[in-house]
Chains A and B, each alone.
Chain A
Amino acid sequence: MAKTNTKTKRGPLDRTQIYHQIFNQADDIILLIDRKGRIFDINNKIKELGGYKREDLVGKKLTSLKGILAKESIPIVAKNFIKRMAGRKVEPYEIILNKKNGEKVWAEVSASAIKKDGKIIGDLAIVRDINERKLAEEQVLVERDRAQKYLDVANVIMVALDSDGRVTLINKIGADVLGYKEKDIIGKNWFMHFIPKDIRDKTKKVFNKLMQVKGEFAKYYENPILTKKKDVRVIAWHNTILKDNKGHIVGTLSSGEDVTEKNEAKEKLSTSEKKYRELVENANDIIYTHDLMGNFTSVNKAGARIFGYSHDEILKMNIKDIVDPNYLVIAKKKIFEKIAGKARTGPYELLTRNKKGKEVWVGVSTRIIKKGGQPIGVQGIARDVTDRKKIENALLESEKRFKDVAFSSADFIWEVDKKGKYTFASGNVEKILGYRPEEIIGMTPFDLMSTNEAKKLKNIFRGIVKKNERIDDLKNWNITKSGKKVCLLTNGVPIFDNKGDFQGYRGVDKDVTRVEEIDRMKSEFVTVVSHQLRTPLTSIKWFLEILLAEKDDSVDSKQRKMLSQIAESNERMIKLINNLLNVSRIESGRIKVSLVRTQLEDIVKKTIDKYFTWAESSNISIKINKPTRRLPKVKVDVEQIRQVIQNLVSNAIKYSIRGNISINLRKIASVEARRMKTTAEKKGFVDHTELEGEIAKVSEAMAKKKSTHSVIFSIKDHGVGIPRYQQKRVFQKFYRGDNVIKMQTEGSGLGLYLCKAIVESLGGNIWFESTPNKGSTFYFTVPI
């Protein structure tokens, strides 16, 4: 058209020539059609459609242009031609032309009727190739369609706003979220209607900035919206700016996602994650992870604290740096088992070492961390159980010790319940009683005794149980499975549960049958010996007495003297036997001591009476210094204490060289008595004698009893004395001093041992002070 304009400006014009030029050089296809619809003329543009020639088309009817016109376009062309011929105006319309090569080409037809003298004589049609435009249009349509589908299907809200903030587009989801219909949203101001009041201004500002492309371009923006129900939903927006073809900002297109629930969940998650983290960090247990190689990948504070390493140090370490080599095998095995999904392995205990090398026992429970189904590491919780383990180990050790003792001991170890039934019996019971432990369980000790013995023991046992006392050296006779008699010495302690309720007894039975047998034999032996030895000595004694009593001259003086000597020797023999018997009796503990509260003074007088004559014959005087006041009574066995006094007095007489013997008797504070003994010790008295047999136990027990006062007996002689080097042996059995042996005095060496045994069994003390050739003083005390 521009060409046409420039040409019209040139010089004088031949109009027909001009029209002809336009016709032939036009960019559009121009057709002249007569009233009957035949082509009057057509320009050469038609050639561009591919192969059609002007000459071929002129004179042909429009409707016969089937090859050129697409089938679907023919009715439109025909309809519009008729319309024009009828004198009606026809708007430009689109048709499809077929190229010779089969391509389709969109074209726009703009036609108008040609009139001559007011009469329609034909039609002028201009056909413009609009194929490019049409294709672009089509593309847009496809895109739009696709977009619309996407908008409606995608789970996002799409909102377009114009520069004033009015909604120009919203998709179905957007409408649904807001709770309105699409049409009720379009055209409304977004901020006024759909943004909560409190954040309206702020949001508007952001929008305005977007419109001016000032400041930050908020591509991603999260804000709440207000729904029809006045709910607030949080939407995460992704904003795009819309520009017109001149580059002016005309609005925004935003896609939004309703993140209300997501945010809530996220918030919850972050809170719980925080909580979890806190828990982990502040836990007393060690919480850690390590990879499959055993390299630590995380550890909490407790881990660092317990092992004494810093957090960072641990992260550079491997489990083998901490776990004891012997336990590393276990740790690895457990992990492999877990990976293999084998038997569910519960918590297990490992010995580990801290930085200082100190043992730390941990109870561990682990699980495998998997990623995509593949194990990648181990997560574990370890508890420091060192203290418990120590106690456990100590218990185990003591239990083992107990067991070792129990089973190595020849004694029978047992437990009985409240009813006295055996609940435990060590294996040795079979050796002792012939019953196997399992046979004994459920029986009572009394089931193993004769009726009489059981009756006796039940009584004793009842008394012990009533007071929850210990069973102390209780002797009892039992009958073995094979019917043999066995003497057991029972010791036991009551058992109480945690509440302090009595549960039974636990103890040890010692087989003392042999000891009892020996004891019995010994006592029998003593009896037999005393009887058998004394009897012939008695006949010697009595016949000598008869002989010596002869008043006539059948026995002369020389014979009489010799008979007296025989009698004296015989007496010594009898005394020796008597002393031996006494020692054996007192040591055996078999003698029944009858302690009676007695005036010691009276016993001393009575005992010494016998000795006055003897003393006189040896030119020795005995003086008793009576206490000014009557002494308090002491608990003694009269017969025994008499023996002590006899022995001390007869010693004093025997070993006196000259002068007198003085006996003193008084009350004394125990403290003072001890001081006196200490004084004696300073002067050289030492006593290394140990009592033997039962009497030793009695004395030991008595020595523990404290009394504030005693009665002290002392006897002072002026005799040979005891050499210092022999003083420590004076109380020993069968010991006689060198000097007294030389004196050829009679003596068994048992007297002072007996004195010691008797005095100490009464809880008293005996000692002496002695200077050779000057004399000795013997002391003994009896507690009041």
Chain B
Amino acid sequence: MKNETRILLIEDDQMLVKGLVSFLEDEGFLVEFAIDGPTGFKLAEKNSPDIILLDIILPRMDGFKVLEKLKKSPKTKKIPVIILSNLGQEEEIRKGKSLGAVDFLVKANVELKDIVDKVSKVLKK
């Protein structure tokens, strides 16, 4: 199952992208990534990944906007989105969830394996 799972990572910090991609691939996921909002949205529409990990502060279009568009587009609205951000105040969490994110993870407070656990958990449903 893991090998079939395609993750789309939308994250602008290259260090984080490197770390995450390498860990997730080691864990057996197929990972695609985009480093800005519009590209991320396009990739999601084009490739229909199984799950999307979405940052909020992104160039050109912020994560909330991307999430909104993803949930509006018939092609992507069913793809689960986990927000992975270093923002993490109540209102941001609330906003993210109200826009349709399945979870909101604060990057600094989670370990990589927590992310994998969460992804697996979400995809099991």
Contacts and interface: CB of A to CB of B under 8 A. Distances in A.
Interface string B70-107: 00000000000000011111110010000000000011
Contact of B15 (A536, A549, A577, A591): A536
Contacts of B108: 534-535, 537-538, 541, 574, 577-578
Task: Provide the main secondary structure of the chain A interface.
Answer: helix
B91 A545 contact: no
Contact of A535 (B86, B90, B112): B86
B87 A531 contact: yes
Contacts of B89: 527, 581, 585, 591
B47 interface: no
For chain A, which range describes its interface: under 10, 10 to 19, 20 to 34, or 35 or more residues? 20 to 34
Interface string B4-19: 0000000001011001
B113 A545 contact: yes
Given A530-B86, A591-B91, A539 B16 contact: yes
Contacts of A13: none
A341 to B, nearest CB: 83
B90 A545 contact: no
B91 A531 contact: no
B23 to A, nearest CB: 6
Contacts of B15: 536, 539, 543
Contact of B22 (A527, A535, A546, A578): A546
Contacts of A585: 89
A577 B89 CA distance: 13
B34 interface: no
A538 B23 CA distance: 14
Contact of B16 (A535, A546, A549): A535
Interface string A566-609: 00000000100110010001000011101000000000000000
Q: For this complex, into which size category does the number of interface residues on chain B fall?
A: 20 to 34
B61 interface: no
B3 interface: no
A546 B19 contact: yes
Contacts of A545: 23, 111-113
Contacts of B57: 531
Interface in A187-207: none
B86 A538 contact: yes
Nearest to B13: A535
A348 interface: no
B19 A542 contact: yes
Contacts of A578: 108-109
Interface in A521-553: 527, 530-531, 534-539, 541-543, 545-546, 549
Nearest to A593: B90
Considering residues B13, B87, B108, B112, which has the most beta carbons from chain A within 10 angstroms of its beta carbon? B108
A35 to B, nearest CB: 175
Interface in B1-59: 13, 15-16, 19-20, 22-23, 57
B111 to A, nearest CB: 5
A542 B16 contact: yes
A482 B89 CA distance: 37
A639 interface: yes
B19 A543 contact: yes
A541 B90 contact: no
Contact of B19 (A539, A581, A591, A594): A539
Interface string A691-733: 0000000000000000000000000000000000000000000
A527 B87 contact: yes
Interface of B: 13, 15-16, 19-20, 22-23, 57, 85-91, 94, 106-109, 111-113
7 contacts: A535-B107, A541-B108, A542-B20, A542-B23, A574-B108, A577-B108, A592-B90
Given A577-B108, A590-B91, 15 more contacts: A530-B87, A531-B86, A531-B87, A534-B106, A535-B16, A536-B15, A538-B16, A538-B108, A539-B19, A542-B19, A543-B15, A574-B108, A585-B89, A592-B90, A639-B90
Leading 9 A-B pairs by shortest Cβ distance: A534-B86, A534-B108, A539-B15, A542-B19, A538-B107, A574-B108, A531-B86, A538-B108, A545-B112
